[in-house]
Structure 1
Amino acid sequence: MLRDEVMTWDTASRQGGRRFNADAVGAARDGDGMVFALADGIGDSMWAAEAARVASDIAVRTPRPAGPVEAILAAQRALHSMHTGGDCVMVVAMGDQIAWVGDVRAYGWDGSQLVQLTSDQTLAEYFRSHDAIPTPRMEHVVTNSLRNTRPDQIGLVTAHNCTSILLTSDGVHKTLSPDLIQGILAETGTTALTRVSTLVDTAIVMGATDNSTALLVMNR
């Protein structure tokens, strides 16, 4: 499992075919532990980028005892106070506890196997859960967002048996296959920063039209 006293983290982001990079990452220490957040603004506007930046900043300032769901609710209150209409999706990691809204993802990595911890809150996932076949467009239509979520709609999961947690925006995980992500994480003789940089660079090279951001938290 992840241990705060030996934890390191690295992040990288690349702008896709958008006017704004509306992805944002936050990290802050609370006592002996860390809080991490990755937010992806909805739309291609300065308000989407601002919503992601504010949400990630507020989320990581939430005391760890309050938990990641409260971090998301605190970020929601911040968006409502802005009155811009800006919205985003977000994932928050506090130790082994992970909460999310929308289609950002968290993966667990034990050095050999990649496990998707979150489930996308999208129209495509809704159709699949009801034994229906979604259209490709449905993969990009979220059914939950930070501005509109209710507490009972916020996803929550505990990461078990992980030595690393990877957070990604959809520019990464909707472009790269799980096997390719796993292969990049498994590269030997490379630093964590090199691996997250390779993830986002590869996504852009392979045609990601959205912004691509990754954050890797791992034990030293």
Structure 2
Amino acid sequence: MSESAAPCLARNGGFWPEFVRGMRASIPVMIGFIPFGLLLGRQAVQQGVGVFSVPLMTGLNYGGGSEFAAVHLWAIPLPVALIIGVTLLINCRHVLMGAALAPWLREVPRRKALLWLFLMCDETWALSLSDAQKRQKFSVGYYFGVGWCLYGTWVGSTFFGAYLGAKIGDLTRYGFDMAFPAVFLVILRGMWKDHRMSLPWVVSLLVGVLVYRLYPGAWCVPVGTVAGAVTAACVVRRVG
């Protein structure tokens, strides 16, 4: 990559106009977050998690998949080691996501960049990376506009799901649990470049299904995640 075409930070446009642009871009994903967050909050209190512990968990961990896994593993006595292990394995995808953003943040001091990455969930990463690749520059305002809107929506919706509890009924009857995957599939479609990049997702899915069939339970999630991550590393090495 030539120096003129190298990834860079956006130097013009202003922070707040870009922040507003990020807020607008996040609206469809925010709509998908709400029913999914309500569902997680309701399931959490049903498993015995405290109402105010739910937004604390979602606010500090901020990883939808690992939070659902933790809630489904919640029991008395609490399997602390299993929950920590599953959470770390599911969230290990953030290592690859951070590596993908690293070239765009090379002008940012490492300490500052690490603080910024607190807001990096799958959707914030996908929207921001797609925007940076399209514009050939990373917009900090856009990233924070998307990130803070999605963060607030997720934490708020999980709290209200926990607070309302049984009053909101079983949202899965209406297919609301598919809203989140549907939104993410649309985002992935916009990032599609090469059929080889779909291989890690296919491997992760097949391995996860196989493990679930052989050993029903939450282990299908981390095992599928690791299989997908290893495949992604091999694909990246081969492409490079």
Higher strand share goes to which structure?
1
TM over 0.5: no
TM bracket (short chain): 0.3 to 0.5
Structure with max Cα Rg? 2
